[in-house]
């Protein structure tokens, strides 16, 4: 997680810019023909432009794998180009990975070949993410998410309370290897995980308030990446949109 700390200090920002190009699909066509070639080219140019314009304000970038897989081979090629375009800015590959050991090894190998700095992982198929850790790729484990499915709030017969709190406690003692996705209850999650890095979705199009998200900050002003995607992707001026969000987060941190 040190790369995220270094990037936050370098940019004076905790903004994570989501690079999620929307997909317009026609289910009656084959996957390879979902998007015309000229549209794919326009998408690549727009992604590259977003990266170039927002990089000064981005502590990290995040790609949701779904938007790239939907484009077939072109999408994988675009994903690899994204890694080149983002340069030394950390890149999170959002795939919610997990499975049995040999399958997880395949996911980890793919993440490494795609140049991922970190990935997201689902804890509900097990807690062993060692194939990623062995490759130097930390995992942001799903804790609480913005859509708040019922499973997160299940009460356990243990001191942990909810399932989400149980997951948080599991990752809290390895802050170099594991982060936590925190879509709500940031303050209580921070109490459980004083050193852990949080990846917090929901700002912008999903309607989460800065004040709620920023409760996940550590006392040293680090430990939190705030993701925004659609509000920047659809902006007339992505650079201005990213700067506005990053500046607002900084002012709120200071306040």
Active site residues: 96
From 155, 162, 156, select the one nearest 185 (Cα to Cα).
162
């Amino acid at each position: 997680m040190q790369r995220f700390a270094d990037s936050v200090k370098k940019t004076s920002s905790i903004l994570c810019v989501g690079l999620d190009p929307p997909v317009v699909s026609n289910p009656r066509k084959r996957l390879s023909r979902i998007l015309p070639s000229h549209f794919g080219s326009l998408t690549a140019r727009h992604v590259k432009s977003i990266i170039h314009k927002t990089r000064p304000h981005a502590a990290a970038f995040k790609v949701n794998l779904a938007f790239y897989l939907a484009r077939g081979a072109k999408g994988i090629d675009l994903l690899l180009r994204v890694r080149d375009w983002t340069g030394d800015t950390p890149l999170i590959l959002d795939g919610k990975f997990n499975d049995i050991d040999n399958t997880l090894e395949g996911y980890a190998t793919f993440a490494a070949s795609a140049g991922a700095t970190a990935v997201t992982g689902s804890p509900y198929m097990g807690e062993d993410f060692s194939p990623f850790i062995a490759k130097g790729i930390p995992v942001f484990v799903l804790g609480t998410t913005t859509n708040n499915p019922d499973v997160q709030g299940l009460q356990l017969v243990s001191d942990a309370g909810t399932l989400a709190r149980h997951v948080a406690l599991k990752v809290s003692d390895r802050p170099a290897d594991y982060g936590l996705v925190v879509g709500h209850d940031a303050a209580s999650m921070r109490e459980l995980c004083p050193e852990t890095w949080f990846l917090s979705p929901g700002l912008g199009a999903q309607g989460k308030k800065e004040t709620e998200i920023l409760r996940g900050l550590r006392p040293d002003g680090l430990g939190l990446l705030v993701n925004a995607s659609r509000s920047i992707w659809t902006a007339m001026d992505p650079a201005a949109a990213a700067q506005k969000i990053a500046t607002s987060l900084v002012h709120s941190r200071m306040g």
